[in-house]
Amino acid sequence: MISGGRLKRTATRRIASTSRDALGIRTDTWTNGLTFRVDLREQSASEQGYADGVAVVRSVELRCRWPDIARVGLTEVDRVLVRGRTLRVNAIRNLDEADMVAVIDCTEVN
pLDDT in tens, the chain (110 residues): 677 678 999 999 999 888 788 887 877 788 999 999 999 999 988 888 877 788 888 999 999 999 999 999 999 999 999 999 999 999 999 999 999 999 999 999 87
* Cβ-Cβ contacts under 8 Å for 91 (sequence gap 6 or more): 76, 104, 105
Where do the structural domains in the chain lie, given as residue ranges?
Answer: 4-109
Whether the pTM exceeds 0.95: the reply is: no
* Cβ-Cβ contacts under 8 Å for 101 (sequence gap 6 or more): 1, 2, 63, 64, 65, 66, 94, 95
User: What homologous superfamily does CATH list for 4-109?
Assistant: Bacteriophage SPP1 head-tail adaptor protein (2.40.10.270)
